[in-house]
A and B are shown apart, each in its own frame.
Chain A
Amino acid sequence: MKKYHKLIKDIHLHTGLFISPFIIIFSVSALVLNHSFVDWQEDWQKWSFSVNNKVDKTIAFDIPTTDKSEIDYAKDILKQINISGEITNVFKDSIGMYIPVTKPGYRISIKADLTSGIAYVHSERTNIWKKLVWLHKMPGPHNANIRGNWIYTKFWSSLVDFSVICLFFSSITGITLWYYLKNERTVGLIALLIGFISITSLIIGITI
Chain B
Amino acid sequence: MDIAKQKRSLTKWNQKIHIYLGLYLLFFIWLFGLSGLLLNHHWEFANFWEDRKEIKYHKTIQISRGMEQYTLVHEIKNKLNLDGSVINPIFSNDSIFLNFIIAKPGTRYDVQANLNDGKIMVKETKFNTWGIIRALHTTRNPTLKERSERYQTVIASIWSISLDIISVGLIIICLGGWYIYLQVPRKRFYLGLISITSGFVVCICFLFFSF
Residue interface bits B95-132, CB-to-A below 8 A is 1, else 0: 00000000011110000000000000000000000001
Residue interface bits A147-181, CB-to-B below 8 A is 1, else 0: 00000100011011101100110010011001001
Kindly state whether residue B28 has any CB partner on chain A within 8 Å: yes
Known: A20-B196, A103-B211. A27 touches B167 (CB 8 A): yes
Q: Within the assembled complex, what's the spacing in Å between the Cα atoms of A49 and B26? A: 44
Q: Which of B51-59, B67-75, B86-94, B137-145 contacts A (4 or more CB under 8 A)?
A: B137-145
Residue interface bits A114-128, CB-to-B below 8 A is 1, else 0: 000000000000001
Kindly state whether residue A24 has any CB partner on chain B within 8 Å: yes
- Tell me whether A184 and B16 are in contact (CB under 8 A): yes
Q: Within the assembled complex, what's the spacing in Å between the Cα atoms of A152 and B135? A: 27
Kindly state whether residue B80 has any CB partner on chain A within 8 Å: no
- Count of chain A residues near B, Cβ 8 A: 70
Kindly state whether residue B158 has any CB partner on chain A within 8 Å: yes
Known: A106-B210, A144-B42, A160-B40. A207 touches B171 (CB 8 A): no
Known: A140-B40, A171-B30. A188 touches B20 (CB 8 A): yes
Kindly state whether residue B76 has any CB partner on chain A within 8 Å: no
- Tell me whether B184 and A13 are in contact (CB under 8 A): yes
Interface residues on B, range: 35 or more
Main secondary structure of the interface of A (DSSP, over half): helix
- Tell me whether B22 and A181 are in contact (CB under 8 A): no
Residue interface bits A1-37, CB-to-B below 8 A is 1, else 0: 0000000001001111111111111111011011110
- Tell me whether B40 and A25 are in contact (CB under 8 A): no
Chain A residues lying within 8 Å of B184, measured Cβ to Cβ, are 13
Interface residues of A in 173-208 (CB under 8 A from B): 174-175, 178, 181, 184, 187-188, 191-192, 194-196, 198-199, 202-203, 205-208
